[in-house]
């Protein structure tokens, strides 16, 4: 069984082992192939029967050039870069990793919120630059310090990751409200209050985006919905960059309507030099790293190996194009 990994570097930059995958067949690993449609993708797949990928697109054209492909394993939860219909037409199951980063992603969300409220990185830099040494006072702060207890934490999306985030926010003394198309009993038992979209926008002091990308939420953070929010709202996004109209958010940051944005994702990745958020006030941007703890990536590896093993045993699991 020939297995090709098209873009393995972000999953395993050297601190994990491909050995469990290699036990299942003849494995070729490429660190990077292409994040855009390219003849190189089909060339590297060649006569492989199992394709393992994360962000390298698998199109109908690529599948037509690679008739030996029998399974596609996605090293992630999201699978929008795979032409599911074309794969299904050819009887190729596409299998993803539905749950691996709940704790890591929720932890990162809280870190972004705390940075917005305390500006720890900024104050560390000022100390190293000598400001504290030369201060006439024994302490100082350059931004208002925000206490979160009693404030309202809003979740746009309250699935597995959202529930972990809600639990952490409640631990800080916050009231948690959420909009989700389904309302899980686990979230209700935690004390999450489900609201409609307008209620979410109007009531949140902090609004976190933790929902998979879908047709209805593309561009949902736009000037019309930002106008419904509280003055001084904090917006956090480590879900999908396409949920934000970036010029609208930049305008709201520059006007002060939005006090702070903490973002781990943008609409086009890697980020482009002309992204308006790069020059917006009070906006921290990290490079889509909230999923990337070693523990999180090990779970991806384990699940992917299990997905391939199940396929080889004739009982594919986590199939997203049944």
In the chain, domain spans = 2-100+294-312, 102-285
Q: For 37-77, how does the pLDDT look when each residue is reduced to its tens digit (9 = 90+)?
A: 999 999 999 999 999 999 999 999 999 999 999 999 999 99
Find, among 7, 92, 8, 97, the residue nearest to 50 by Cα.
92
- Catalytic residue set: 240, 269, 288
Look at the domain 102-285 and name its fold. Answer: Rossmann fold (3.40.50)
DSSP three-state, residue 163: helix
Range list of H helices, the chain = 19-22, 39-45, 60-65, 84-89, 102-118, 120-128, 160-171, 185-190, 197-203, 223-227, 246-255, 294-312
The reply to whether domains 2-100+294-312 and 102-285 share a CATH topology is yes
Q: For 231-252, how does the pLDDT look when each residue is reduced to its tens digit (9 = 90+)?
A: 999 999 999 999 999 999 999 9
pLDDT greater than 90 at residue 101: no
Domain 2-100+294-312 matching CATH 3.40.50.720: the answer reads yes
Q: For 170-216, how does the pLDDT look when each residue is reduced to its tens digit (9 = 90+)?
A: 999 999 999 998 999 999 999 999 999 999 999 999 999 999 888 99
DSSP state of 221: B
What number is the average pLDDT over the span 129-149? 97
Q: What pLDDT band is residue 161 in, cutting at 50, 70 and 90?
A: very high
Predicted local distance difference test score (pLDDT) of residue 212:
87
Q: Average per-residue pLDDT in the chain?
A: 97
């Amino acid at each position: 069984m020939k297995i090709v990994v098209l873009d393995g570097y972000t999953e395993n930059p050297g601190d994990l082992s491909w050995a469990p995958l290699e036990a299942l067949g003849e494995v070729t690993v490429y660190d990077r192939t292409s994040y855009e449609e390219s003849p190189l993708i089909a060339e590297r797949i060649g006569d492989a029967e199992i394709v393992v990928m994360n962000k390298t697109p698998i199109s109908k054209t690529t599948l037509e050039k690679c008739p030996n492909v029998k399974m596609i394993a996605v090293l992630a939860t999201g699978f929008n870069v795979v032409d599911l219909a074309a794969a299904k037409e050819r009887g190729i199951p596409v299998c993803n990793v539905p749950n691996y980063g709940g704790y890591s992603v929720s932890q990162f969300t809280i870190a972004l919120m705390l940075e917005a409220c305390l500006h720890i990185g900024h104050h560390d830099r000022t100390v190293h630059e000598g400001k504290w040494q030369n201060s006439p006072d024994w302490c100082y702060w350059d931004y208002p310090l925000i206490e979160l207890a009693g404030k309202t934490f809003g979740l746009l999306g309250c699935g597995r990751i959202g529930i972990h985030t809600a639990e952490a926010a409640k631990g800080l003394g916050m009231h948690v409200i959420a909009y989700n198309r389904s309302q899980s009993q686990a979230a209700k038992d935690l004390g999450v209050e489900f609201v409609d979209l307008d209620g979410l926008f109007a009531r949140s002091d902090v609004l976190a985006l933790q929902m998979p990308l879908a047709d209805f939420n593309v561009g949902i953070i736009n000037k019309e919905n930002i106008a419904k929010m509280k003055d001084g709202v904090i917006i956090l996004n480590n879900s999908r960059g396409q949920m934000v109209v970036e010029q609208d958010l930049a305008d709201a940051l520059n006007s002060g309507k939005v006090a702070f944005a903490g973002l781990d994702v943008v609409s086009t990745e890697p980020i482009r030099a002309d992204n308006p958020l790069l020059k917006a006030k009070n906006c921290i941007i990290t490079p889509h790293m909230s999923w990337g703890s070693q523990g999180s990536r090990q779970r991806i590896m384990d699940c992917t190996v299990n997905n391939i093993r199940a396929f080889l045993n004739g009982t594919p699991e986590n199939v997203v194009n049944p």
